[in-house]
Amino acid sequence: MSLPKNSHEIRTLETVYRAFPIAPSSKGRKIIARAFEMARIAHDGQTRASGVPYVQHCLATAEILAGIGMDARTVAAGLLHDVPEDTEVTLETIQKEFGRDTARMIEGITKLGKMKLRGDAEDFKLENWRRMFLAMGEDIRTVIIKLADRLHNMRTLEHLKPEKQQRIANETMEIYVPIANRLGIGEIRAALAENAFKYLDPENYQKTKKISQEMLSKKSAYLKRALEEMKTLLKDKHVKYVDIHGRAKAIHSLFLKIQKHDGDVNRVYDIIAVRVIVPDVTSCYEALGIIHRRYRPMVGRIKDYISLPKPNGYQSLHTTVFGPEGQILEIQIRTQQMHDEAELGIAAHWLYEERKHKSWRAYLDPRKKNDDISLEVKWARQLREWQKDLGNNPDEFLEGLKVDFLKNHIFAFTPKGDVIELPEDATIVDFAYAIHTDVGNTAVGARVDGKMASLDTIVRNGQIIEIVTDKNRTKPNTNWLGFVKTSHAKGAIKRQNKKEE
């Protein structure tokens, strides 16, 4: 399963139908066909900057949505996403023809279309940001459609003027790439980042692409041998596998990894990696044990994201070994569902509900608290409370947005084993407030992995942190505002001090 890549192909309804991992029902095909007909008539006479009929963009967006397993109504909304804004057809007409559900998605997309990024923080429009994230909290499909729309726009960016290319590429890298990452949609995140990188830093893009191509050429024969050896190894030990294949690291991710290692590409071990897809979780650990018995693992390079998934829901076992012929090789082991969710993120839930012939509507009910999707977009729904803390200060809102929601997140633990999720570079005070406001307000010190640490210490992934409190303390130290990172901690400190005063 992969995203359609040819952005210049002439698309038809059949192109969209072929993109579905599971063929849509006859009812689904009829909904999509009706949506296409409305989009075709509404956009008649309109063309893109490339000169092709505008409806081709609608079809391309729909094809991407179909490719990641979205349901027929979401694909239909993708076909119609620009109709109310760019044509004379109204939302009321769409609602009458397709129902409130489809109209609501398109209404959300119309609001998102008003969001613009023009470089500096001062240029952000606070209200547009709030609309975007409120839409995300209300119906996550709205944002998934917007990501598909943006991906096709990025793939056809060469037809625009250079200054517009820069603005759109910058907006994509600053906003859409982190959102795709936060939703766990790896394929769309990588594709958006690569296309934005190409325009924002063409020199480094070409250099990194050349490095990737050279490594792929040099290692292709070795990778083929390694894959065959891995298949034989698991087969001999009677461990079933669904698939074993190689994957090349995405261009932008590779560039960031090379930068992290001071430009030394030889220290990047996962330019090419082996993916082992097995039937169940037990087989993941069995395969890991068998691989480690054959190939010596590198110390400190084993990561268990199954027991402790990443904040965006990613699950897999990662290990780096001295593989066949002693060459360093990264191996990722996961189930088919974990693989689909790593590539498609939250969109994979629609795919799995379709496979099980269950209704996906239950996943969209904000009143439900314990289902998978509710948990995965908990951060989006928290925005309403978070915005109250920030008031109407645009600078604080933007800073909080970047830190709390778009920055990479880590996990740390309380001594009882409770998992606390924090943005990178968060401090012990942020950790304390994430446990409970009272713990933050009365914090006087901390032990990190058993050793005393100051409250401004930055929390690292996987650390065990014990907060030392003093119940006689009545208010937090206002100096903490100089180093805390999360909006929750900042808001709590300000509120408690105001209350004490």
For residue 389, pLDDT over 70 is answered with no
- Give the domain CATH number at 332: 3.30.460.10
- The whole domain housing 153 covers 13-200
Q: Is 85 among the domain residues?
A: yes
What's the pLDDT score for residue 445? 94
Q: Above 90 in pLDDT, residue 232?
A: yes
In this predicted structure, the answer to whether residue 352 has a pLDDT above a threshold of 90 is: no
**In terms of domains, do 168 and 88 share one?**
yes
pTM (2 d.p.): 0.78
Task: Please say if the pLDDT value at position 84 is more than 90.
Answer: yes
Q: How many CA atoms are closer than 13 Å to the CA of 271, on its beta-carbon side? A: 23
The residue with greater pLDDT, 18 or 383, is 18
Query: Residue 374's pLDDT is what?
Result: 44
Question: pLDDT (tens digit, 9 = 90+) per residue, 273-320?
Answer: 999 999 999 999 999 999 999 999 998 889 999 988 887 678 999 999
Assess whether 33 and 176 both reside in one domain.
yes
pLDDT at 8: 66
Residue finishing a domain among 200, 220, 245: 200
| Domain count of the fold of the chain | 3
Q: 452-456: list long-range contacts, CB under 8 Å, 24+ apart.
A: 453/428, 454/428, 455/427, 455/428, 455/429, 455/480, 456/427, 456/428, 456/429, 456/480, 456/483
Residue 210 has which token pair? 């050349």
Best CA proximity match to 97, nearest among 73, 75, 113: 73
Q: Which residue among 176, 200, 224 closes a domain?
A: 200
Q: Are residues 269 and 389 in the same domain?
A: no
pLDDT at 287: 96
Q: Are residues 173 and 263 in the same domain?
A: no
Distance CA 28, CA 46 (A): 27
Asked if 401 and 308 sit in the same domain, the reply is no
Mean pLDDT for the chain?
A: 84
The question of whether 85 is a catalytic residue gets the answer yes
Tokens of 422: 């924090």
Does pLDDT of 373 surpass 80? no
- Active-site residue, selected from the candidate residues 37, 85, 123, 449: 85
- The answer to the question of residue 2 being in a domain is no
Residues 127 and 263 in one domain: no
86 catalytic per annotation:
yes
Residue 69 lies in a domain: yes
User: 200, 221, 255: which is the final residue of a domain?
Assistant: 200
Average pLDDT over residues 436-456: 94
Q: Identify the pLDDT of residue 122.
A: 44
